[in-house]
Amino acid sequence: MTAPRTRTADALDVALALANPAPRPPRSPEPQAGHDPAASADPEASASAAAVPWDEARRIAADAGRDAARHAEAEAEDEVEELPLPGALGRRLAAPLEALSDLPAFDTAAMDGWAVAGPGPWRLAGSGAALTAGRAPRPLPDGRAVAVATGARLPAGATAVLRSEEGIAEDTAEDGARLRARHRDPDHGRDIRLRGSECRAGEQLLPAGTRITPAVLGLAASAGHDALAAPPLPSVALLVLGDELLVKGRPTGARVRDALGPLLTAWLPELGAEAIAAPRRVKDDPEALREALAGAAEEAEVVVTTGGTAAGPRDFLHAVLADLDAELLVDGVDVRPGHPMLLARLPHGAHLVGLPGNPLAAVAGVLTLLAPLLAARNGTDARPDPEAPLVAEVPGSGSRTGTRLLPAALGPHGLEPLRYHGSAQLRSLALADAFAVVPAAGAPAGAAVPHLPLRWGAA
Ligand SMILES: Nc1nc2c(c(=O)[nH]1)N[C@H]1C(S)=C(S)[C@@H](COP(=O)(O)OP(=O)(O)OC[C@H]3O[C@@H](n4cnc5c(N)ncnc54)[C@H](O)[C@@H]3O)O[C@H]1N2
Ligand code: MOO
């Protein structure tokens, strides 16, 4: 994707290139640009001993999603809804999509010109007015031609379409209007879309479970459907933790804006899930968190929390999960950012994805745990990550271990890591096309590395 270069070139130039020296932020004594305080404070010291390798965390999340799919399958039948076409977008087909008619439903002109019957020259039928799309034509006797527009239903007896640029129509005194081919007669069947050449009525076009994309809506409409049957998407309850978070206005005093409520709410449909409600704000208080989690687990298949995953004085997630007898499937992942992310199974079967509070770390948590969980829940097989060369060196991360996920622009020469990749920073993410997956030791320019595409696309 090269568009960000042209559309947002200035912003991208600022964000590009890990190796470039960072501009000094205005009126701020804080270091910036890859020297995010949260990222440079060495969390190794208190990192969970149970942290699993990044790939394994993704596998565990996908396994959990498959479990959830088996569980959901039993209940899905009662919940299938018939949705008018636009409303079914993003869901999955409950049943195979069948064609309700032949496609095309009739022989159709593929070009503007004349429908001809048999070899030329031809007598031009009718008043000379063209058959246009939507009109039912009368049969065309042998030796006749009639003007047609692209998409028009062809008359019975038509053997080919002669394109307008290939034919010469002239009025003759003795015989009325005549048509001849400029060079040679069209071959039999030329520029005719035959009835049923795309599909026959009753034919299966797509299997059950296919994601309903704009293309699927178009195909369903072409094939005669007004509505599609689809079970609801997995439901997600979003709990945003942190007394310091503001929901509007500028960051003031010691308080910051909640970035994750808006980001995650908007991302869920693309991840194949539906939020049950607006993000719920939860106080930094263990009892409030316990109640919120227990309530959310009753209402939603997946509970997503933000913040409170670490071991700070106001981080209560671990304690509350223990109190609820949750089973921790992943407790910390060997990845930066996003290290303290977690995945748990709550007592009545709902899954909980605990995203770190630092916003870029939370996004890493979505890609590592939530996306594989939901994809597998929706029956999507994991595909190998695409690879692309790094256009610039990524230096090693010193004493730190773990896979690194770096927001990157994907251009014609490969992946260009972006500068603002600190775990509290979203500036580069907003311009990124993908996360480059880089080992802790770093990688030289030109090395092919896997990447996780951001399907929303920054272009
Ligand atoms: N001693 C240690 N401290 C920390 C470690 C560690 O291993 N040892 N890990 C660090 C890492 S890595 C991360 S990531 C964070 C994770 O912290 P929490 O998940 O507990 O998140 P909070 O403490 O609640 O918040 C962290 C940070 O993020 C801001 N935040 C929270 N929610 C939002 C939101 N919705 N929108 C915008 N910003 C948000 C919050 O204000 C804090 O600044 O822990 C490190 N610490
Ligand atoms: O570095 Mo944390 O990993 O700030 O997510």
Whether 29 has a pLDDT exceeding 70, the answer reads no
Mean pLDDT within 399-415: 93
Task: Average the pLDDT over each of 75-84, 196-205, 357-366 and give the range with the smallest value.
Answer: 75-84
- Number of alpha carbons in the 13 Å side-chain half-sphere of residue 329: 25
Whether 18 has a pLDDT exceeding 50, the answer reads no
State the pLDDT confidence band at 367, using cuts at 50, 70 and 90: very high
Residues 299-345 pLDDT 10s: 999 999 999 999 989 999 999 999 999 999 999 999 999 999 999 99
Distance CA 109, CA 132 (A): 9
Place of tokens 């095309």: 104
Distance CA 401, CA 172 (A): 88
Q: What's the pLDDT at 117?
A: 97
Q: What is the CATH number of domain 81-101+206-230?
A: 3.90.105.10
Pocket probe mutation, ligand 1, options 309, 343, 358, 399, max atoms within 8 Å of Cβ: 358
State the pLDDT confidence band at 77, using cuts at 50, 70 and 90: low
Token duo for residue 148:
């047609």
Pocket, ligand 2, Cβ cutoff 6 A: 38-39, 336-339, 356, 358, 361, 423
Mean pLDDT within 142-148: 95
Distance CA 404, CA 391 (A): 16
Distance CA 358, CA 375 (A): 24
State the pLDDT confidence band at 9, using cuts at 50, 70 and 90: low
Whether 105 has a pLDDT exceeding 60, the answer reads yes
Q: From 2.40.340, 2.60.40, 1.10.3470, 1.25.40, which CATH number describes the 385-453 domain?
A: 2.40.340
Mean pLDDT within 239-260: 96
Q: What's the pLDDT at 39?
A: 38
Token duo for residue 278:
């607006």
Token duo for residue 194:
């035959």
State the pLDDT confidence band at 76, using cuts at 50, 70 and 90: low
Distance from Cα 27 to the centre of ligand 2, integer Å: 25
Place of tokens 């920054």: 458
Q: Classify 361 as helix, strand or coil.
A: helix
Pocket probe mutation, ligand 2, options 40, 336, 360, max atoms within 8 Å of Cβ: 336
CA 402 to chain centre: 27
Token duo for residue 292:
């919120």
Whether 271 has a pLDDT exceeding 70, the answer reads yes
Pocket, ligand 1, Cβ cutoff 6 A: 38, 43, 46-47, 240-242, 244-245, 256, 258-260, 306-310, 312, 315, 337, 339-340, 356-359, 361, 423
Distance from Cα 358 to the centre of ligand 1, integer Å: 5
Higher pLDDT, 74 or 427: 427
Atom index in ligand 1 nearest the CA of residue 39 equals 12
Counting ligands in written order, the one closest to the CA of 47 is 1
Q: What's the pLDDT at 399?
A: 73
Residue with CA closest to ligand 2 atom 4 = 423
Average pLDDT across the chain, whole number: 89
Q: Is 0.85 exceeded by the ipTM?
A: yes
pTM (2 d.p.): 0.84
In the chain, where the domains are located: 11-77+233-377, 81-101+206-230, 108-193, 385-453
Q: From 3.30.230.10, 3.40.50.800, 3.40.190.10, 2.170.190.11, which CATH number describes the 108-193 domain?
A: 2.170.190.11
Distance from Cα 115 to the centre of ligand 1, integer Å: 71
Per CATH, 11-77+233-377 and 108-193 having the same topology is answered no
Counting ligands in written order, the one closest to the CA of 422 is 2
Residue 224 CB neighbour total at 10 angstroms: 13
Distance from Cα 272 to the centre of ligand 1, integer Å: 26
Domain at 11-77+233-377, CATH homologous superfamily: MoaB/Mog-like domain (3.40.980.10)
Concatenated DSSP letters of 373-428: HHHHHTTPPP-PPPEEEBSS-B---TT--SEEEEEEEEETTEEEEBS--STT--TT
Counting ligands in written order, the one closest to the CA of 42 is 1
Atom index in ligand 2 nearest the CA of residue 360 equals 5
Counting ligands in written order, the one closest to the CA of 354 is 1
Closest by CA to 407, choosing from 393, 395, 396, 423, is: 423
